[in-house]
Amino acid sequence: MRPALDRLQYLEHHLLGRPTPAEAAQWQVQLLTDPNLAADAQTQVQLYQALREAGRQQLRHELRQIHAHLERTTRRRTWLQTATDHLSHLLGRR
Amino acid sequence: METETSASLRQALLTDREHTMTRIYQRAFPLVRRYVQQHGGSAQDAQDIFQDAMVIFYEKAVADTFVLSSSVSTLLVGISRNRWRQELDRRARLPLTDLTNQPEPPAETPADEPASVPVLDYLARLGEKCQSLLLDFYYFQQPLDQIAAAHDYGSVRSATVQKFKCLERLRKSVRAAVATLAH
């Protein structure tokens, strides 16, 4: 990958992954020596938070669709049930 | 479904979310609706509360650490009852405010998180493919091999590179916006 993408992967490993104790210690040292690391990490955290919020919105949208679908199915089943009950009743009277 | 394990549930949610969520919804929602309606709520309240509960449930269920200690329906009814009690407390303090006027985050969201709404706008501008790739990985927690297959990337490696390219585009937009605001 390009160096810029490698850097994102490195940040992700420390923010979302499971860095080893040695990697965590190295990260602390790098925070002192790399003037941009803290700001880059902060931006990346912001991106992850936005992605979580967008994911929730997407999931809510899917849930509303599931609800509408189930409601339509139930309404159709109720109508069919009423119709077949009526038919059975008529046939039973013969 | 009642004998489902944490692992099989997680797998089902990751590989076939729509079908799995529909099955769960069909089974658990009537229980929650009955509870909410018996405790002073409307059908719309029940729907809002249950969907909040489903979001909380999904986030917990796809996490590696999740342990399913009861049936999925029992868990969802429990989360919904808590949410409904909180909502009733809130309404008792603000009697004229409607549930639907409230912001969306589930109750268990940490309150101290900074707002991320401006970044959401930039995410929407990335285009369907990048947005979907990022959400599938970071929010829906789908494994990269599944994402690679679903999005027609030749390999996991290529999906990984694409994911970071999308993240980089998002990051550049956000940084440019921040720089503009600073000047």
- What is the complex's ipTM, to 2 decimals? 0.83
Give residue A92's pLDDT band: very low, low, confident or very high (50, 70, 90). Answer: confident
Q: Could you give the number of structural domains in chain B?
A: 2
In this structure, are residues A7 and A41 in contact, taking their beta carbons and an 8 Å threshold? Answer: no
| Contact call for B134 and A53, based on CB within 8 A | no
Residue B112 lies in a domain: no
Domain co-membership, B86 together with B15: yes
Residue B53 lies in a domain: yes
- pLDDT given at position A81: 75
Alpha helices (runs of H) in A1-94, residue ranges in sequence order: 3-15, 21-33, 37-93
Does the pLDDT at position A23 exceed 50?
Answer: yes
Which of A31-45, A79-93, B72-86 has the weakest average pLDDT?
A79-93
Residue B111 lies in a domain: no
Residue B33 lies in a domain: yes
Residue at token pair 């790739």: B133
Tell me the per-residue pLDDT of B110-167, one tens digit each, with 9 for 90 and over: 444 444 446 788 888 899 999 999 999 999 999 999 999 998 998 999 999 999 999 9
> Residue B65, CB half-sphere, CA atoms under 13 Å: how many?
2
Domain co-membership, B92 together with B124: no
Q: Is A77 on the interface with B (CB under 8 A)?
A: no
Domain co-membership, B143 together with B71: no
- pLDDT given at position B96: 63
Range of the domain at B96: 6-101
Domain co-membership, B76 together with B142: no
| Contact call for A51 and B135, based on CB within 8 A | yes
Kindly list the residues from chain A whose CB atom is less than 8 angstroms away from the CB atom of residue B175: 43
Domain co-membership, B83 together with B14: yes
Of B55, B138, B164, Cβ closest to residue A48: B138
Domain co-membership, B12 together with B90: yes
Give residue A87's pLDDT band: very low, low, confident or very high (50, 70, 90). Answer: confident
Of B65 and B136, more confident? B136
